[in-house]
Amino acid sequence: MGKIAEAVLEKGGEVIGVIPKDLVERELAFIGLADLRVVGSMHERKALMTDLSDGFIALPGGLGTIEEFFEVLTWAQLGIHSKPCGLLDVGQYYDRLMDFMDHTVNEKFVELEHRSMVLMDDDPERLLQKFETYHPPKTDKAKWVLNLSKNR
């Protein structure tokens, strides 16, 4: 994340850092930011980042990247936000993850309309174009309640 922040700042872009207090205390903060917001927990961090963001793009990363991506995707699925969620598929990094997502649709654990919420491309410009034309599916809360009661 630090390298991306540095690159954005070098090009004159704006970077807002959001970090839990305990990570600041362990000296893991990127201190070169004009706007570094310290919060009490990882949950507060994710909630604030969601509020500050126009959309979400995950680059190849580890467990934290995947967890955060699926959390904002789940929030979109539930209608908590309607912002685009995308994967920058550098070197086909996310191909197997998308195969798994297709499997969840085939096994009827995920609706096709929710699978289609994941925007993906290996080219940053094309991915941003997909963001510009993104329209979230309509969330039918009554359908959610019905499905939840069936699964009990």
pLDDT digit string (tens) for 58-82? 999 999 999 999 999 999 999 899 9
pLDDT in tens, 36-55: 899 999 999 999 999 999 99
Mean pLDDT for 124-135 is 97
Do 4 and 75 belong to one domain?
Answer: no
Do 69 and 127 belong to one domain?
Answer: yes
What is the Cα–Cα distance from 53 to 34, expressed in whole angstroms? 17
Do 96 and 47 belong to one domain?
Answer: no
Q: What is the largest CA-CA distance in the chain?
A: 53
The neighbour count for residue 53, using CB atoms within 10 Å, is 14
Given a cut of 90, is residue 29 above it in pLDDT? Answer: no
Q: Which domain holds residue 68?
A: 53-152
Q: What share of the chain is helix, strand, coil (3-state, %, to 5)?
A: 50, 15, 35
Mean pLDDT for 117-140 is 93
Do 76 and 32 belong to one domain?
Answer: no
What confidence tier does 142 reach under pLDDT thresholds 50, 70, 90?
A: very low
Mean pLDDT for 10-22 is 90
Do 83 and 151 belong to one domain?
Answer: yes
